[in-house]
Structure 1
């Protein structure tokens, strides 16, 4: 018995080539009217599915494939073959379907509820679900056509595991499409996440937490974590992916702020441990940037995650691993993300058992340009549901009309405060961040995750001293206002030269006086504009 394929696609790209190989393998083709025209126009034999259902499209093309004949051909079992034959209905073995571009219409300028409704596909999703339930060769993603053709060539297309996978993907595609429609129609009342597993992890945050994986939402974001290619080392762990996400947020906002304020993005290197930066710098010298990042906290960076916007070459890799370490003792880095790595760098960075994961993404070299800041809505699981909010899209603008200065910052102050803001605004709150005040700016102390502001300030200065740095003449960022002058006084006593924070405390006047009396340059923007809370 000849095999029968049903083809019904909105986008005709590649469909003729797909149909041609099916025909060459002896398949009969059924197709919707538009797809029939494309295939017949290429000189291939095809039957319009309207002939099967006894009529053409009706209701202004709203009803085409929604018929019992088509779905009987997709849902029938072996025991139903005789009944199909009596009814003159072919057994459909393959369904290649795509949908009206609902998402494009939703975001099209000038679109309306009526236009979105007209672009909401009903027949396509219904065909996919019937084909999935019938365990047919069901293709809802054009990228899978070549794979299915290869299965046909090598005789494995009827493998139950393959058919089950295709059915699962078809249901996934339909579910994502339906959720998109529900979210639009409900104006935010209905929401959800539907992802595709792209990386499995040995375990989760802790060894007893299984079923850990990275899922993709299939965006076009070149900086999506799935687009970081593992070029060396074992596959990243759950914690590695979390740290990469955190350090990428720091790097993206640092680049965006540099581009906005300095009109150029400098080479930078950022190191994080447990999600919080412990070293960071921006310098015209890539090797110096590596050295200054490490100096932030030589102790904390061990086993950390490093991100840079410049290719890692042999020299920068050598400095990252060996410079500043006792003879014969290498610096252990768990993850390094960079645009590219030279072969020599990979050799230098390589650790036993692949413990140094090197992840390449050329898009890192273009941070600061369009798409640098992630604007996708954020969702966070909580017991019984999830919380949702807009993304962290605030970028520091030192010339913003609502940013009020008490004193005039120098160029060194501005450079340092940009780095301090990028680090502090993406560290666990409450945070006070201290950055060197002269020359290439680099992180020298990060007081993170404190329940009160004064302790965050004390911790930042403590970390400065423990790392062997001097806070005199440094600059600082506080991710929210000082509720009392005591935290401000800690920074004054440590010799901090310039501070960036927010306003909104009932004690703002006293805080301002504390800094002014000590000759500290102070910049304050309204808490509602640029508060930097993160990691709650």
Structure 2
């Protein structure tokens, strides 16, 4: 058996090489991989000994040679292939172990791997005769099969070939995306939201996904199967989440928890205070900021205690005993997310309900693009969220908000941006007191928010995710007792709506930015 080893990530390669040598394999390698094996005392043959040609162009051309690719691509079942090998003195290669330059971490021309993908694709194409390994996690299983049977099983070779093509596909897609950026921006990752349209929306998008390791209980409903997939080579924060307790997550647990985690981090970053968010069916039913985490949680829970039952609780700071005690006294949660847990707090939550999923998570990693699937394709856009700063907002009424009202208006607006449309959010003193979500008309969303607020919005703020088309929505906000209304503006009846606010003694602020969320 002859094995060619050429890896950028040296994890486990020495141990693999020793195992192969013990099985009688001849190793061929070059560059850093060969040096690592030689320094470990593993016998290895240089690629240039095999090809009779030295590496050139600063290591750009090393394995691009017929004696390498002929040895990988030869179909040993075809007499003409065997004759070609013999005629040209080409030795067959049975195992190819390659991983690629880390282009995704540091995009540059010199990290566009050429020889690596070429060998990977060649070996994967000829998987009937050649085993290709691109992931150190597969080293031990391959060694185990070789030790047990003297060969790698056909099914394993096919599985590894599929994995290899997925790797090269994702790698090429990442390079293509980088090259599609304007030249002045191509020294780093693609621009995020707000960048040029060509950066966000290139002519072609290639998404290569791999299934993550955790098992999801089911989809939106128990009769639907589900799994989480991630972009190959671009893990997100969910890959670093640690589950300390509870039953496995479901599709909706992940979807709702992602929404809660994004919002709680946004509120904490904006306010500079601890924040707590409770999400139910992708909508926040409670949100608050406060000087302490326990107070933020209590105020978030008080927003809508009935809806909080079975919801997702997200906390911006590590769970402390005071907050844990408050959570135990409140309605049970399906999922709890926090950046950490002080001693004893996980056990306290478990004692309340053993099935609650207790998750420790790093900060969220915002996506570059937002996808939504439709029949036969996808819609692609910038990720949702607030872009317009308060400094760009415009007071359009005679009455100006005072600083406390400004603060409530900003919080209401940030929460409203994460509520399904049509949405109305009422806030008072750093606490959402009424949230009306997902209604077909804005007035009804306001009525629901006011009903939930039950008088607690007096002197606070009302946010609407889109403009008020008629004065009736502003009249409903005034009836709920708010002092300031924040909305995008832009209706043909803006003058009537502003006049109604003036008549009712409200302050009104236009953000110039709609926040529909579907």
Look up the match of 2:356: 356
Aligned-partner SS, 1:503: coil
Aligned-partner SS, 1:481: coil
In structure 2, what is the Cα distance between the partners aligned to 1:19 and 1:477?
Answer: 63
Aligned-partner SS, 2:466: coil
| Cα separation, partners in 2 of 1:147 and 1:390, compared to 1, 3 Å | farther
Q: Cα distance, 1:149 vs. partner? A: 6.0
| Cα separation, partners in 2 of 1:269 and 1:152, compared to 1, 3 Å | farther
Q: Cα distance, 1:127 vs. partner? A: 1.4
Q: Cα distance, 1:12 vs. partner? A: 6.2
Aligned equivalent of 2:417, options 421, 425, 435: 425
Report matched runs for 1:231-270 at 5 Å: 231-258=244-271, 264=272, 266-270=273-277
Listed one character per residue, the Cα deviations across residues 311-355 of structure 1 (whole Å, up to 9, x for unaligned) are: 2234322321324xxxxxxx2211111122345332332279953
Look up the match of 2:99: 98
Look up the match of 1:394: 386
In structure 2, what is the Cα distance between the partners aligned to 1:459 and 1:150?
Answer: 62
1:532 and 2:515 correspond: yes
Look up the match of 1:190: 204
Contact 1:396 1:421 survives alignment (8 Å): no
Listed one character per residue, the Cα deviations across residues 268-321 of structure 1 (whole Å, up to 9, x for unaligned) are: 111011000001111112222222111111111111111001222343223213
1:286 and 2:293 correspond: yes
In structure 2, what is the Cα distance between the partners aligned to 1:404 and 1:352?
Answer: 48
1:271 and 2:260 correspond: no
1:141 and 2:135 correspond: yes
In structure 2, what is the Cα distance between the partners aligned to 1:349 and 1:36?
Answer: 53
TM-score, structure 2 length as denominator?
Answer: 0.83
Contact 2:395 2:507 survives alignment (8 Å): no
Q: Cα distance, 1:205 vs. partner? A: 1.2
Report matched runs for 1:28-43 at 5 Å: 28-32=26-30, 35-36=33-34, 39-40=37-38
Aligned equivalent of 1:309, options 282, 307, 316: 316
Listed one character per residue, the Cα deviations across residues 180-209 of structure 1 (whole Å, up to 9, x for unaligned) are: 244455661111321221133232112332
Contact 2:320 2:345 survives alignment (8 Å): yes
In structure 2, what is the Cα distance between the partners aligned to 1:271 and 1:353?
Answer: 17
In structure 1, what is the Cα distance between the partners aligned to 2:494 and 2:25?
Answer: 78
Look up the match of 1:261: none
Contact 1:50 1:57 survives alignment (8 Å): yes
The count of residues paired between Structure 1 and Structure 2 equals 491
| Cα separation, partners in 2 of 1:119 and 1:312, compared to 1, 3 Å | closer
Look up the match of 2:457: 471
- Provide the alpha-carbon RMSD of the alignment: 3.3
1:297 and 2:307 correspond: no
In structure 2, what is the Cα distance between the partners aligned to 1:394 and 1:280?
Answer: 17
In structure 2, what is the Cα distance between the partners aligned to 1:312 and 1:155?
Answer: 52
Look up the match of 2:238: 225
Aligned-partner SS, 1:200: coil
In structure 2, what is the Cα distance between the partners aligned to 1:57 and 1:430?
Answer: 64
Contact 2:268 2:316 survives alignment (8 Å): no
| Cα separation, partners in 2 of 1:14 and 1:404, compared to 1, 3 Å | farther
Report matched runs for 1:175-186 at 5 Å: 175-184=169-178
Aligned-partner SS, 1:247: helix
Aligned-partner SS, 2:448: helix
Aligned equivalent of 2:432, options 443, 446, 449: 443
Q: Cα distance, 1:219 vs. partner? A: 6.3
Judge which range, 10-19 or 61-70, deviates more: 10-19
Contact 1:257 1:418 survives alignment (8 Å): no
In structure 2, what is the Cα distance between the partners aligned to 1:281 and 1:424?
Answer: 13
Contact 1:375 1:392 survives alignment (8 Å): no
Judge which range, 471-480 or 238-247, deviates more: 471-480
Aligned equivalent of 1:171, options 136, 156, 165: 165
Aligned equivalent of 1:48, options 43, 46, 51: 46
In structure 2, what is the Cα distance between the partners aligned to 1:408 and 1:156?
Answer: 81
Judge which range, 19-28 or 500-509, deviates more: 19-28
Report matched runs for 1:42-81 at 5 Å: 44-57=42-55, 64-75=62-73, 79=77
In structure 2, what is the Cα distance between the partners aligned to 1:98 and 1:170?
Answer: 9
Aligned equivalent of 1:522, options 495, 503, 508: 508
Q: Cα distance, 1:78 vs. partner? A: 6.6
In structure 2, what is the Cα distance between the partners aligned to 1:219 and 1:58?
Answer: 29
In structure 1, what is the Cα distance between the partners aligned to 2:58 and 2:315?
Answer: 55
| Cα separation, partners in 2 of 1:357 and 1:60, compared to 1, 3 Å | closer
In structure 2, what is the Cα distance between the partners aligned to 1:105 and 1:312?
Answer: 36
Aligned-partner SS, 2:279: strand
Aligned-partner SS, 2:307: coil
Look up the match of 1:111: none
In structure 1, what is the Cα distance between the partners aligned to 2:295 and 2:95?
Answer: 59
Listed one character per residue, the Cα deviations across residues 390-446 of structure 1 (whole Å, up to 9, x for unaligned) are: 223535633x1344464443343233223322221011111110112x3xx211111
Contact 1:75 1:130 survives alignment (8 Å): yes
Q: Cα distance, 1:89 vs. partner? A: 3.7
Judge which range, 225-234 or 64-73, deviates more: 64-73
